[in-house]
Structure 1
Amino acid sequence: MTALTTPFGFGTTTAEVTEGIDLTGRRAVVTGASSGLGAETARALAAIGAEVTLAVRDTAAGEKVAKEITAATGNHDVRVAPLDLTDLASVAAFAGRWQGPLHILVNNAGVMACPEQHTEQGWEWQFATNHLGHFALATALHGALAAAGNARVVAVSSSGHQRSPIVWDDIDFAFRPYDPWLAYGQSKTANVLFAVEASRRWAGDGITANAVMPGAIYTNLQRHTGGGGSRRVPAELIKTVEQGAATSVLLAASPLLEGIGGRYFVDCNETEVVDRRSGTLHGVARYAVDPAGAQRLWNLSQERVARFLPGSLA
């Protein structure tokens, strides 16, 4: 399989990847869109005509961003809806309120290297937020995605996935000492594996899913690290928010990605598969794109979520 390349790269902005694209009539959901990359992703999609729903925990912050997007783009089809990815009832409520087709789902929300915490189900917080909540959301919205005919799902991952594969026997750190970066790493591996399996499983519905490494950007994601995750990156590799969101927007909107799924992109291009930690922001670990691992994770996730949201999974 030849790696997909585009005319874009590290310094490309959302305005550049969307030039000439018209998403009028298309509907998008962006999680975590009340700040940072999510807000810019939502703004960029609205700027080219999409109806955009900001799926956020803090609806007051979301409403503020929505008004700013409308003022900046002239698009009045910008909405806000409550969504807490660690609360499956909230996920079910969001999906239950959705009516009609959904053309674009950007699984952007996330937490990074937070202190040890577990959900009421006993799930490790980062795995629950970054993967299981988005898995439940996407599968609950499967019918809407299928109704679109050519829907796209974007899973925002990270080069941090190279820190850890899925540790199948102890995903929730019940027996090993908690390490916030290992927990983050396996949750980001899960994002890539989700894209691989969703593309395979939903190909007959015309749904594609890809994973993205946005790059190093200063956002609220670093609130638990004091910015440390980005401070280890050379200054010349730090992106603006407009540059950081460009790859997500490319995957969500560009005709260059028509029919492409199950891949991992960095700087607007598909990156290489690596067998050792690359030490850079590029490269996707072989275990993160392993089809057998992707199927195993899907089955595990389905079993977990189905216990609390029976009948909601596709």
Structure 2
Amino acid sequence: MSTLITTPFSATSTAAEVLTEVDLSGRRAVVTGASSGIGVETARALAGAGAQVTITVRDLDAGARVAADITASTGSDQVTVAPLDLAQPASVAAFVNGWQGPLHILVNNAGVMAAPETRTSQGWELQFATNHLGHFALTTGLRPALAAAGGARVVSVSSSAHLRSDVVFDDIHFLARPYEPWAAYGQSKTANVLFAVEATRRWADDGIAVNALMPGGIRTKLQRHVTDAELDRLRAQSTAGAGGGGGGGITWKTPEQGASTSVLLAASPLVDGVSGRYFEDCNEAGPNQPGTRTGVADYALDPRSAALLWDVSLATLAG
């Protein structure tokens, strides 16, 4: 494996710190799922650095409140809100068709975590449909705009939960196997990494860099389907990991810290020319070691799986 990319930043760095002295004037950015959590802080940091930022949301009222808050905190009046429901192909198509001009930064941040078994109107499992298929359709649809920007960057927000499951190509949508919320979430997050791998291969000539990341453990609305008992268990695991020096625990981050790796990949000159990689805590992650929740699974970087997923995704969306 090639040498891992390192930066001066770490798990405690904030998004604003990462973009200190970075000037994004004239750059246009889209951040999906920016009505709460790290999406808000990703959009805030990009706007604070001078970018024109479009935040996509399902709830336009919530989006308007976020845009007003970002404008108030950054002084930027270049924050706009657009409707987007990633689980609905028609909504994705409407956004893509409505976009005009180049796009320099696309942060695929929106997500559904550990949801009860739910299917879209097409019969697709909701987490895979939202976290992967929706972003796949959005990003491939916006490819001409990204290519037109010259040196565009796409950021695919994955998770350490990708370590829970490879993409089960024989039964992606849990039609034959029993539904398990974390397994469904895990394979959708593996898909986010595989997308970065294959997009890098396919789009290199367009100058589009695509990377994936693990933002860290952040308490946000993403966990609305996770019970308090489950969170208590994760916190206990975190305490045990920290107290015993083990690698299995979770260190909870603030949303500002959670957004730092996203904005590093979206806009920092430190990663110019870097593509097809997986980052955590503002640095490229090495291979996952058994018994830990850090690093990247070999299967998530497998070029054959990445190519297969791309073909499957195209076929699925084509109906």
Output the TM-score relative to the length of structure 2: 0.93
Q: Deviations over 1:127-170 (max 9, x none)?
A: 00100000000001010000001100000000000000011100
User: Which whole-Å CA distance do the structure 2 matches of 1:221 and 1:42 have between them?
Assistant: 17
User: Which whole-Å CA distance do the structure 2 matches of 1:73 and 1:166 have between them?
Assistant: 40
User: Which residue in 1 is equivalent to 2:42?
Assistant: 41
2:138 is the counterpart of 1:137: yes
Structure 2 counterpart of 1:271, one-letter code:
A
User: Which residue in 1 is equivalent to 2:238?
Assistant: 234
Q: Relative to structure 1, is the Cα distance of residues 225 and 108 closer, same or farther in structure 2, using a 3 angstrom cutoff? A: same
User: Which whole-Å CA distance do the structure 2 matches of 1:2 and 1:245 have between them?
Assistant: 24
1:37/1:244 contact within 8 Å kept: yes
2:272 is the counterpart of 1:272: no
Alignment of 1:1-314 (within 5 A): 1-226=2-227, 228=230, 230-231=234-235, 233-234=237-238, 237-274=251-288, 277-280=290-293, 282-307=294-319
Q: Relative to structure 1, is the Cα distance of residues 233 and 253 closer, same or farther in structure 2, using a 3 angstrom cutoff? A: farther
1:196/1:262 contact within 8 Å kept: yes
Q: Relative to structure 1, is the Cα distance of residues 135 and 232 closer, same or farther in structure 2, using a 3 angstrom cutoff? A: farther
User: Which whole-Å CA distance do the structure 2 matches of 1:199 and 1:250 have between them?
Assistant: 18
* Deviation of 1:279 (Å): 2.3
Q: Deviations over 1:24-56 (max 9, x none)?
A: 000000000011000110000000000000011
Q: Which moved more, 1:220-229 or 1:103-112?
A: 220-229
* Number of aligned residues: 305
User: Which whole-Å CA distance do the structure 2 matches of 1:277 and 1:245 have between them?
Assistant: 27
In the alignment, structure 1 segments of 5+ residues that lack a partner are 308-314
User: Which residue in 2 is equivalent to 1:310?
Assistant: none
Output the TM-score relative to the length of structure 1: 0.95
Structure 1 counterpart of 2:299, one-letter code:
Y
SS at match of 2:211: strand
1:59/1:80 contact within 8 Å kept: yes
* Deviation of 1:233 (Å): 4.9
User: Which whole-Å CA distance do the structure 2 matches of 1:253 and 1:29 have between them?
Assistant: 12
In the alignment, structure 2 segments of 5+ residues that lack a partner are 243-250
User: Which whole-Å CA distance do the structure 1 matches of 2:272 and 2:206 have between them?
Assistant: 14
Q: Which moved more, 1:235-244 or 1:183-192?
A: 235-244
* Deviation of 1:179 (Å): 0.4
* Deviation of 1:22 (Å): 0.2
Structure 2 counterpart of 1:184, one-letter code:
Y
* Deviation of 1:303 (Å): 1.0
